[in-house]
Amino acid sequence: MLSRRTIIKGTPISGGLVLGQARVILPGDVEFAEITVPVSRVSEEIEALEQAVAQTIEEIHELLDSAGKKIGGPVAKIFDAQLLIADDEQFLNQVKHQIRSQRRNAGFIYNSLVRSTTAPLKSSPDSYMQQMATDIEAVAQRVLSHLSGHNKSDQKFPPHTILVGKMFTPGDILSYRKRKAIGFLVGEGGVNSHMALISRALRLPMVMAHDVHFEIVNDAKLIIDGTSGEVIVNPSDSDWSEYQKRKKRQGPAAITRIRKLADIPPVTADGKVVHVGANLTLRGPADDVLSERKIPVGLYRTEFLYLANYDFPDEDYQFQYYYQIAEKYADTTVTFRVFDLGYDKLVADTGWPSEDNPALGWRGMRAMLDMNHIFKTQLGAILRASVLKNVKILLPMITDVSELEQARKLISQAKFRLRKNSVPFDEDIEVGIMIEVPSAAMTADILVRKADFVSIGTNDLAQYTLAADRTNNRVSSLYSSYHPSVLKLIRMIVEAARRHGKSISVCGEMAGDLLALPLFVGMELDLLSMNPARIFDVCRMVRKMDSSMARHLLNSVLSSDTQQQVIHKLQTYKNELDKMKTIRRRKHGSVDT
């Protein structure tokens, strides 16, 4: 058990920062002894089973209703799948048959059959099968709890409770949120599990660290950063103070503070406008604030529609989803990135062979071109949603001009089909590309001629340029967006876009990094699209900057030999701005908005 201050580098599952006390919830399998049942009691066992299943179905219906109200369509469909599992007539008939033939208690038979069903699914290399096993166990846990009479409490947790466990079901997440849990630390589970999708949809921070639930004790103080994956167990007083300050600058409060900003887009001290946008994955509370202030969505990740169900929705379902988003942001623009998936996120029935290195395999645009029936379905849905004339299409991970040409051809075919069927759409919809690999950066002059706009994905650009997986602890120290090679590639892309008169944006994590802000202001980018929680601080810093000074700093930074030199120059500049802010506060006794 961890009794001293310990820093754990885990996998970020759901972003956000929380400070609180641990409540450890160990795996709660309900064990049933094998009991021989007299013939006279067999019907009672079957009746108890039917009642437990009925209660479970009622609970899942309530969760489905709650998820639909709090989150919306795609996430709520997770509970549709659990309803089908709970009401599986063939499986229940098998349980009843064995209760009668073996004359054993309902709990023992049901539990035994669940375990024999899930065992091969758990050992499958297919992520879909593994997730199915998790969903079956989640349903079974409810049925068995009712059979045993041990139902979960609805009592609220103490304030600032962070739950620690092996893994939590989607129903657990919803239930624990209702009981006022503020975050989660889990020992198992992937970034695309249903548990992860629900936590992100509800904006509940979550980090996964292998077997961590065995190392944490109840009431241990915890700091969890769901964005970086860092966890501090038994933090020092200085840790606590520092992260409390960070929390005040992040999260829902930071999004709400956008309403207080005087100018959006912000303007530098010497009059240069800096346009900001939001990166989004799900509909949620941020939409009201962002749409109210007419902040564009520079990147909307659509792959969540697949990840919520491990299946690609049909065109009508996707159209309704995209249209509702476009309608919400009717006074600004929404850029939908088409499905950006790889083998590590797909299921076996797509026909893809196993890959040892999915990051360098079939993903992004390669995937969509190989599965063009899925791509054309999505294109049809996005085009139909573009009828409001505020929608753009973004193509991910373009590595070669031939991929862009093929995608353009499929978009033309989708448009032709809609015209033929008299379905309205925006004929002038813009089609952009994400440049996030070195080959695209080096041939940006060729690519940008055939695109309507360009977006730089700094996360992957740094990863592929430096050959360093940012999620691999052994090489994560080598990963840095501030490496001179990465910055020079970004400058190269920007200059190519400028030469051809195309708009250029940045949509990676770097776009919301205050340290990098003067570089992008100096490059005169058209849009910085970021996590909504970063918008307030970015806008506030822009107002203090002088664009001519930023251009001078940019030239100095690009002449640096090492990332340490880059960071030193940028940090020195930021410190000077912070001093100016402190002087202003003392002089005027007010907070800058």
- For residue range 263-320, what is the model confidence (pLDDT) as tens digits? 899 999 999 999 999 999 878 778 999 999 999 999 999 987 887 666 789 999 999 9
Better-predicted residue by pLDDT, 562 or 74: 562
User: Is 301 found in the same domain as 406?
Assistant: yes
Phi-psi region of 535 (alpha: psi -120 to 50; beta: other; left: phi over 0): alpha
- Specify if 52 maps to a domain: yes
Give the confidence band of 73 by pLDDT, cuts at 50, 70, 90.
Answer: low
Q: 181 and 95, same structural domain?
A: no
**Judging by DSSP bridges, how do beta strands 206-208 and 11-14 pair with one another?**
antiparallel
Q: What is the rounded CA–CA span in Å between residue 226 and residue 361?
A: 27
> Which helix (H) or strand (E) segment is 24 a member of?
strand 17-25
The residue from 115, 148, 181 where one domain ends is: 148
Q: What is the pLDDT of residues 436-495, one digit of tens each?
A: 999 999 999 999 999 999 999 998 999 899 988 765 657 767 888 999 999 999 999 999
469 and 374 both lie in a single domain: no
Separation between Cα atoms, residue 222 and residue 233, nearest integer Å: 5
Is residue 15 located within the same domain as residue 55? Answer: no
d(CA 212, CA 186): 7
Structural domain harbouring 76:
39-148
Q: Which tokens go with 193?
A: 């599990």
- Whether residues 462 and 565 fall in one domain: yes
* Whether residue 575 is found in the same domain as residue 446: yes
Distance CA 533, CA 257 (A): 9
The DSSP line for 318-350 is HHHHHHHHHHHTTTS-EEEEPP--BTTTS-GGG
Question: 512, 506 in Cβ contact below 8 A?
Answer: no
Percent of the chain residues topping a pLDDT of 90: 51
CA dist list (Å): 8 to 157, 185, 207, 417, 509: 25, 11, 10, 53, 22
Q: CB burial class (10 A; 0-12, 13-18, 19+) of residue 279? A: buried
Q: Could you give phi then psi for residue 275, rounded to 5 degrees?
A: -80, 135
Does 340 share its domain with 427? yes
CATH code (residue 510): 3.20.20.60
Distances (CA, A) of 153 to 20, 145, 157, 176, 547: 21, 12, 10, 10, 57
**pLDDT for the residue numbered 347:** 47
The alpha-helical segments, DSSP class H, found in 71-126 are: 73-86, 89-102, 106-122
Sign of CA dihedral 320, 324, 327, 333: negative
Q: Which residue has the higher pLDDT, 374 or 213?
A: 374
pLDDT tens-place string over residues 516-558: 999 999 999 999 999 888 899 899 999 999 999 999 999 999 9
520-545: burial string, b at 16+ Cβ within 10 Å, e else: bbbbebbbbbbbbbbbbbbbbbbbbb
* Residue owning tokens 């001093």: 579
279 forms beta bridges with 299
Rounded Cα gap, residues 73 and 60, in angstroms: 15
pLDDT the model gives residue 75: 63
Catalytic residue among 146, 194, 213, 483: 194
How far is it, in rounded angstroms, from Cα 49 to Cα 136? 16
Of 89, 122, 148, the domain-final residue: 148
DSSP string, 200-236: HHTT--EEE-TTGGGT--TT-EEEEETTTTEEEES--
Confidence (pLDDT) at 74: 63
DSSP, res 247: H
Phi, psi of 293 (to 5 degrees): -90, 10
Give the relative orientation of helices 73-86 and 194-201 as an angle to the nearest 10 degrees. 140
Using CA atoms, how far apart are residues 349 and 426, in angstroms rounded to an integer? 34
Q: Count Cα atoms within 13 angstroms, Cβ side, for 86.
A: 24
The neighbouring-strand residues paired with 233 are 6, 222
**Active-site residue, 552 included:** no
Tokens standing for residue 316: 């009508």
Structure tokens at 492: 């190269």
Please check whether residues 81 and 178 belong to one and the same domain. Answer: no
| Contacts for 476-485: CB closer than 8 Å, 24+ residues apart | 476/9, 480/563, 481/508, 481/509, 481/510, 481/513, 481/516, 482/515, 482/516, 482/563, 482/566, 482/567, 482/570, 483/563, 483/566, 484/558, 484/560, 484/561, 484/562, 484/563, 484/566
Rounded to an integer, the average pLDDT of 406-427 is 97
pLDDT at 354 over 70: no
Inter-residue contact 284 to 14 (CB < 8 Å) = no
508: in domain = yes
| Alpha-carbon Rg for the chain in angstroms | 26
Q: What is the mean pLDDT of the chain?
A: 86
178 alpha carbon, distance to own chain's centre = 21
| pLDDT for position 587 | 56
Q: Are residues 142 and 196 in the same domain?
A: no
Q: Answer yes or no: do 64 and 142 share one domain.
A: yes
Token readout for 513 is: 């990094």
Residue 16 sits in a domain whose CATH number is 3.50.30.10
Same domain for 135 and 166, yes or no, is no
Does residue 451 share a domain with residue 558?
yes
Q: Is the pLDDT at 171 greater than 90, yes or no?
A: no
284: three-class secondary structure by DSSP: coil
Q: How many domains does the chain have?
A: 4
What is the structure's pLDDT at 349? 45
Residue 344 predicted with pLDDT over 60: no
Kindly state the tokens that stand for 217.
């004790």
Residue showing tokens 């749409």 = 291
539 is catalytic: no
Q: Is residue 32 part of a domain?
A: no
Stretch 319-325: mean pLDDT: 96
Residue 245 lies in a domain: no
- Asked whether residue 418 is assigned to any structural domain, the reply reads yes
Which one of 109-118, 201-210, 397-406 scores highest in mean pLDDT? 397-406
Instruction: Give pLDDT, residue 153.
Output: 55
Task: Tell me if 324 is assigned to some domain.
Answer: yes
Domain end among 148, 165, 180: 148
Instruction: Output the domain CATH number for residue 91.
Output: 1.10.274.10
Among 57-71, 215-229, 265-279, 569-583, top mean pLDDT goes to 265-279
**DSSP secondary-structure letter at 171?**
H
Measured CA to CA, the distance from residue 555 to residue 537 in angstroms comes to 24
Q: Are 372 and 414 in contact (CB under 8 A)?
A: no
Query: What pTM, to 2 d.p., does this model score?
Result: 0.72
280 within some domain: no
Catalytic member of 213, 483, 507, 539: 507
Q: Tokens representing 219?
A: 């009431």
User: Does the residue 253 lie in any domain?
Assistant: no
